[in-house]
Chains A and B, each alone.
Chain A
Amino acid sequence: MFELIKKLTEAWGPSGYEHRVREIIADEVRDLCDEMRVDGLGNLICRVGSGGKKVMIAAHMDEIGVMANYTEPETGYLRFANIGGLIYTTLHGNRVQFEDGAIGVIGAHDAFGKGRTSANGVDQFYIDVQTENGSVAREGQPASFWREAQQRGNRVIAKALDDRIGCVVAIEAMRKLNKQTPHEVYFVFTVQEEVGIRGAKAAAYGVAPDIGIALDVTATGDEIHNRKMAVRLGGGAAIKVHDTSLIVPPAVVNWMVNIAEADSIPYQRELLVGGGTDGGAIQVARAGVPTGCISIPTRFLHTTSETVDLGDVQACVDLLAGLLSNPIEL
């Protein structure tokens, strides 16, 4: 599984520019689904099976990044806007990659002075993407952060695990199902989650499911001086109870818990304060869709060193495959 995680997390795909990730996933799942299409926003929609309930699974392909929006006339440095929620303390010295592969380095104003302890706006940073002949990128070009994926025991450290790891869970569940399900399942790899859950909104309208399940990362409560929450790394698949965008109907939570217990899959209940997923958009599509979320516990979210546990990832795969292999009665 690490090889697939590495391939997907190292792929280039800031929000709105997911085409490379889409190509990789399309190649990966072409033989694992009955039908595949791309909608007008770029969501990759893959159908498996027919009959039973119409279930939409959503994992987002996009990652946070930056958009160059101004070239300094004197120095040639690029100024940039955020794509998604950047954490300013992670920016100075961090590397970004433009679509053609050019690597840029982010600098902070007054890096050894005030910039050391505070940065309250993206306009206090700039990107150096110059060669001896000047800047090789310009305004209007997006970039994603760059870091290679690495493994430490059962833990994987990579950029963009949010939410390529959700994509991995979907792909591995498709592999496990091997086209066998009593339901009509739409695995949707969505665009533009990080900028406001935009892709899933349109995809859910197009698919018109009976039930929705988002696959996304969630924070962990086992980091020092961070939000108190019950989820811990290595504690199993996180079954969402609620977050800022979604209150999961109790019937959906119970459905997931029952399958996890029946199949002896390690799980934990997740209550996330501050944060949402594609599930928030799916639940309000058309006349309303009962929607849940399987979350992958992840440390250091929105940094280039997001960290997951492969046991948790496998638990999420097993849980999703279990949900889709049995009759659904909510």
Chain B
Amino acid sequence: MSDYLQALSEAFGVSGDERAVRKIVLDAIKDHAEDIHIDALGSVTALKRGTGTPAVRVMLAAHMDEVGFMVTGIDSNGMLRFTNVGGIDERILPGLRVRVGANALPGAILWTPIHKNRDQNVVKMSNLRIDIGANSQSAAESKVKPGDRVAFDSEFTEITDRIVRGKAFDDRVGCALLIDVLRGGPYPVDVLAAFTVQEEIGLRGALAAAQRLEPDIAIALEGTTAHDVIDPDANPDDLTRPNPGCKLAHGPVLTIMDRSMIVPPHLVRFLRETAESNDIPYQIKTALGGGTDAGSIHTSNAGIPSAVISMPCRYIHAPRALLHRDDYANTLRLIQAALNALTPGVIAPATTL
């Protein structure tokens, strides 16, 4: 699997401060692409020139940022108030291990022990604090400032020979795939790689990157929710409960539609046929939750036909996600097979009268 996934997963890069991830990306691609550029928002773009003439310009987007928190204030007792950056379920917060600020200070989100805590209701984020061991406001202020980012504190672990666990697979796994795409090849198409910023708070970096790159077609590379676990709100014995989505170890996931876009049917067909002709297992995602960078890319400029290829990951937007090595290998194979098969004719059906 990727040589970079562990470093990428363990790097702290909450939306708006993706520096640590960017450094890893730049180091990994520097000898494998040209026109490496950091744009005004912080996204990294790079070109891997194609062998075809003229080469189709394919934008591949993976976002560097992860969900996390931001310090919003410091109480008189040295506890840190915070808010979320990106979508995080309040139910996972109590007792959570976190890292605060550029120096990655270890901290924990406070929780009162069960002796005092009979009420089983979810506690609002605004009622929780981060404890960094400071016993006064001034002690905390010497280490932390409002605006500092806070990330999940979670190491990358191989829990079986096939499954790894870590944070931020959404979307460091996309970054790892994109690095491997650049380090592989060459392809007949021009690959316009975009390692984007601020996806989790509104698909922002990808918009600016797409406007500058002006691709012919775009594919977002994502780590997406594998739904093959029990829905916490459902009766686990009720098998009629709808539970659409994708499964771990069932191959790359093709999006038909999500909250940010509808993938053009001819591009879905192209990706399905590419997978089938290369004997790559794949699955369809039609669960409507979430969006991807392709959501802001496809409506940018005068309209860019766009698709999404995702890897199934369990427990994303939480400190410990799981992914399967076979899914990584098959997703990379599908991306590379698609790049090798992409011709102007693949894009044309959308624009033919």
A binds B: yes
CB distance from B218 to the nearest CB of A (A): 10
- A203 contacts chain B at the CB level, 8 A cutoff: yes
With both beta carbons as reference points, the residue of chain B lying nearest to A42 in the complex is identified as B350
Contact A81 B350 (CB under 8 A): no
Known contacts A41-B298, A192-B262; is A81 also within 8 Å of B286 by CB? yes
Q: Which of A17, A26, A39, A43 has the most CB of B within 10 A?
A: A39
Within the assembled complex, what's the spacing in Å between the Cα atoms of A312 and B305?
37
Contact A206 B302 (CB under 8 A): yes
Within the assembled complex, what's the spacing in Å between the Cα atoms of A42 and B353?
10
A interface, by DSSP: helix, strand, loop or mixed? mixed
- Residues of B close to A81: CB separation below 8 A: 257, 286-288
Contact among A26, A38, A79 with B244 in the assembled complex (CB-CB below 8 Å) = A79
- A315 contacts chain B at the CB level, 8 A cutoff: no
Within the assembled complex, what's the spacing in Å between the Cα atoms of A9 and B145?
59
Contact A83 B257 (CB under 8 A): yes
- Residues of B close to A44: CB separation below 8 A: 353
Contact A42 B284 (CB under 8 A): no
Within the assembled complex, what's the spacing in Å between the Cα atoms of A142 and B257?
10
Q: Mark B223-242, 1 if CB is under 8 A from A, else 0.
A: 00000000000000001101
- Residues of B close to A192: CB separation below 8 A: 262
Q: Mark A27-48, 1 if CB is under 8 A from B, else 0.
A: 0000000001111111110000
- Residues of B close to A75: CB separation below 8 A: 240
Contact A43 B239 (CB under 8 A): no
Q: Mark A139-173, 1 if CB is under 8 A from B, else 0.
A: 11010000000000000000000000000000000
- Residues of B close to A67: CB separation below 8 A: 256-257, 286, 288
Number of interface residues of A (CB under 8 A): 38
Contact among A26, A41, A68, A83 with B303 in the assembled complex (CB-CB below 8 Å) = A41
- B280 contacts chain A at the CB level, 8 A cutoff: no
- A201 contacts chain B at the CB level, 8 A cutoff: yes
B interface, by DSSP: helix, strand, loop or mixed? loop
CB distance from B319 to the nearest CB of A (A): 28
With both beta carbons as reference points, the residue of chain B lying nearest to A16 in the complex is identified as B262
Within the assembled complex, what's the spacing in Å between the Cα atoms of A38 and B349?
10
CB distance from A167 to the nearest CB of B (A): 16
Within the assembled complex, what's the spacing in Å between the Cα atoms of A100 and B183?
43
Contact B303 A199 (CB under 8 A): yes
CB distance from A111 to the nearest CB of B (A): 15
Q: Mark A41-84, 1 if CB is under 8 A from B, else 0.
A: 11110000000000000000000000111101111000101110
Contact B239 A74 (CB under 8 A): yes
- B300 contacts chain A at the CB level, 8 A cutoff: yes
Contact among A70, A140, A198 with B243 in the assembled complex (CB-CB below 8 Å) = A70
With both beta carbons as reference points, the residue of chain B lying nearest to A123 in the complex is identified as B242
Contact among A37, A41, A139 with B286 in the assembled complex (CB-CB below 8 Å) = A139
Within the assembled complex, what's the spacing in Å between the Cα atoms of A239 and B250?
53
Within the assembled complex, what's the spacing in Å between the Cα atoms of A101 and B304?
30
Q: Mark B293-319, 1 if CB is under 8 A from A, else 0.
A: 000001111111100000000000000
- A205 contacts chain B at the CB level, 8 A cutoff: yes
Known contacts A73-B239, A79-B242, A198-B298; is A40 also within 8 Å of B304 by CB? yes
Q: Mark B38-80, 1 if CB is under 8 A from A, else 0.
A: 0000000000000000000000000000000000000000000
Contact B243 A202 (CB under 8 A): no
Within the assembled complex, what's the spacing in Å between the Cα atoms of A203 and B240?
43
- Residues of B close to A16: CB separation below 8 A: 257, 262-265
Within the assembled complex, what's the spacing in Å between the Cα atoms of A15 and B288?
14
CB distance from A266 to the nearest CB of B (A): 36
Within the assembled complex, what's the spacing in Å between the Cα atoms of A195 and B302?
18
Known contacts A16-B257, A41-B299, A195-B262; is A70 also within 8 Å of B305 by CB? no
With both beta carbons as reference points, the residue of chain A lying nearest to B241 in the complex is identified as A123
- B261 contacts chain A at the CB level, 8 A cutoff: yes
Contact B286 A69 (CB under 8 A): yes
Contact B350 A69 (CB under 8 A): no
- Residues of B close to A37: CB separation below 8 A: 351, 353
- B352 contacts chain A at the CB level, 8 A cutoff: yes
Q: Mark A172-215, 1 if CB is under 8 A from B, else 0.
A: 00000000000000000000100100110111011000000000
Contact B299 A201 (CB under 8 A): yes
Q: Which of A40, A69, A201 has the most CB of B within 10 A?
A: A40
Known contacts A39-B351, A67-B256, A74-B240; is A202 also within 8 Å of B288 by CB? no
Contact among B257, B265, B284, B303 with A203 in the assembled complex (CB-CB below 8 Å) = B303
Q: Mark B253-286, 1 if CB is under 8 A from A, else 0.
A: 0001100011111001000000000000000101
Within the assembled complex, what's the spacing in Å between the Cα atoms of A39 and B262?
16
Contact B240 A139 (CB under 8 A): no
CB distance from A204 to the nearest CB of B (A): 9
Contact A38 B262 (CB under 8 A): no
Contact B302 A40 (CB under 8 A): yes
CB distance from A136 to the nearest CB of B (A): 18
Within the assembled complex, what's the spacing in Å between the Cα atoms of A40 and B56?
14
Contact A40 B257 (CB under 8 A): no
Contact among A38, A79, A140 with B353 in the assembled complex (CB-CB below 8 Å) = A38
CB distance from A159 to the nearest CB of B (A): 20
CB distance from B303 to the nearest CB of A (A): 3
CB distance from A212 to the nearest CB of B (A): 15
Contact A40 B261 (CB under 8 A): no
Given contacts A16-B263, A41-B299, A199-B303, 16 further A-B contacts (CB under 8 A): A37-B351, A38-B350, A40-B302, A41-B304, A42-B264, A68-B286, A69-B288, A70-B286, A72-B242, A81-B287, A81-B288, A140-B286, A192-B262, A195-B262, A205-B301, A206-B302
Return 10 A-B CB contacts under 8 Å, by A number: A17-B262, A36-B353, A40-B304, A41-B303, A69-B287, A70-B286, A81-B257, A142-B257, A202-B303, A205-B301
Residues of chain B having any CB pair with chain A under 8 Å = 239-240, 242-244, 256-257, 261-265, 268, 284, 286-288, 298-305, 347, 350-353
Q: Give 9 closest A-B pairs by Cβ, nearest first.
A: A16-B262, A202-B303, A206-B302, A69-B286, A70-B244, A41-B303, A40-B303, A79-B242, A81-B288
